[in-house]
Structure 1
């Protein structure tokens, strides 16, 4: 089955396609429940596509709260209810020692966690506040993180492990701007949003450093649509919030939300 599936996905996604096939087959044929690490939205889509082909397995996704971006998957034989299997998500609460105000961002917390030598896969969404961060993590890794995370970007911190019900959700902030473009081509929009010349934006796109809705996009002429989320390694990410137009000059007015 894998060879026929490969044509639907980017070549770099093939290892994950193989893993997803193995998970689904394990649940369907060996009757063994599977709980994955955290998956990004693109991985969730791939797994759902594969699970949908297998009538003997069922799937649910859970990220710790309804609007989660990163989620763990529970895959069980079709005769079982996936809601009966705990997906093992807890909150690692991180606060500054002494309670002093923190000027730390998402990247600081994520960098500190990954600096402990763990995989990104064991970390879900991060909710950054002025006084710290609530990190959704796998229950299996929580104890290690609680023991070893003692500073974030040189700021001493203390941690605690809380049930997922204690999560304090923080909605992501965006810097909203309006640009006008001749078309919704990826290279043109990204050039204006990231303030990089159109010729220089081609290199990261063709090098596979750009993702549209978490899928690698190497075609500079790819057309974006309202609601698309675009990310560039090293440059951040933005969302196409609204498309209006054309203006009198024939250009499109596009509202952009750049994630802070």
Structure 2
């Protein structure tokens, strides 16, 4: 399959990642090289596996630090290598504070503090937030930098240290559930209800490329959603279509939504 034929299977915005992933796969299959990637989101992991399936001499292993991890590092290698014992290079950044306001911080506060230090998003895995602070999964190579430079999270003084994966304090994903009634499963209709915006106002971020459905860029407001889809809108938040519960006598669809909090 040619490179152009590969592009046909993916969104144009994904071209740069497809190019990198295909190079990783080719190097593993043809040059017998092993590659450890940064953290990938589920869509990027899907693309990588799709490409690796076209190269029978390459294999991929994903490691996220926990069973339910959303973001994972990938190990790409020739098919004869054993990857189970390979080091994925993931550490736990323990962020804590003596300030009682630490219990009020959320996922966005911690992520913003990390990115504010110039750390790229792909060096950070899942964040496990609790009342005591946050355990952030990070690429081990940035650990020393963060220990030396991270002093605050949303105006709360913090201290940070590096822990082994065995000490990870996992937190369950919190979803604020609601049931909405919609005329159709269109993206714009459901998103406007969830984010409590008019249908007119929700069109702009979608058409501007700020929306992803199950981590895939979607710019079509009429894109149909289905159970299991995760919708993220930059600047607004994320929600999951938990279930489509049926159709009322008036023909409207009952949809159970979980908004990430």
TM-score of the two chains, using structure 1 as the length reference: 0.97
Secondary structure of the structure 1 residue equivalent to 2:84? helix
Report deviation, 1:100.
3.1
Q: Does 1:171 align with 2:169?
A: no
Secondary structure of the structure 2 residue equivalent to 1:83? coil
Report deviation, 1:118.
1.3
Q: Distance in 2 between matches of 1:79 and 1:49?
A: 19
Q: Distance in 1 between matches of 2:26 and 2:246?
A: 49
Instruction: Give the equivalent residue in structure 2 for 1:225.
Output: 226
Q: Does 1:111 align with 2:112?
A: yes
Instruction: Give the equivalent residue in structure 2 for 1:100.
Output: 100
Do the aligned partners of residues 79 and 234 (structure 1) sit closer, same or farther apart at CA in structure 2, a change above 3 Å counting?
Answer: same
- The unaligned stretches of length 5 or more in structure 1 are none
Q: Distance in 2 between matches of 1:24 and 1:99?
A: 47
Instruction: Give the equivalent residue in structure 1 for 2:32.
Output: 31
Does the CA contact (< 8 Å) of 2:99 and 2:156 recur in 1? no
Does the CA contact (< 8 Å) of 2:150 and 2:160 recur in 1? yes
Secondary structure of the structure 2 residue equivalent to 1:196? coil
TM-score of the two chains, using structure 2 as the length reference: 0.97
Q: Does 1:87 align with 2:77?
A: no
Does the CA contact (< 8 Å) of 2:101 and 2:156 recur in 1? no
Secondary structure of the structure 2 residue equivalent to 1:28? helix
Q: Distance in 2 between matches of 1:51 and 1:245?
A: 39
Report deviation, 1:248.
1.6
Does the CA contact (< 8 Å) of 1:99 and 1:131 recur in 2? no
Instruction: Give the equivalent residue in structure 1 for 2:127.
Output: 126
- The unaligned stretches of length 5 or more in structure 2 are none
Q: Distance in 1 between matches of 2:205 and 2:3?
A: 29
Q: In the TM superposition, what are the counterparts of 1:105-254 in structure 2 within 5 Å?
A: 105-254=106-255
Instruction: Give the equivalent residue in structure 2 for 1:54.
Output: 55
Secondary structure of the structure 1 residue equivalent to 2:55? coil
Does the CA contact (< 8 Å) of 1:101 and 1:131 recur in 2? no
Report deviation, 1:66.
1.1
Secondary structure of the structure 2 residue equivalent to 1:50? helix
Does the CA contact (< 8 Å) of 1:101 and 1:130 recur in 2? no
Instruction: Give the equivalent residue in structure 2 for 1:68.
Output: 69
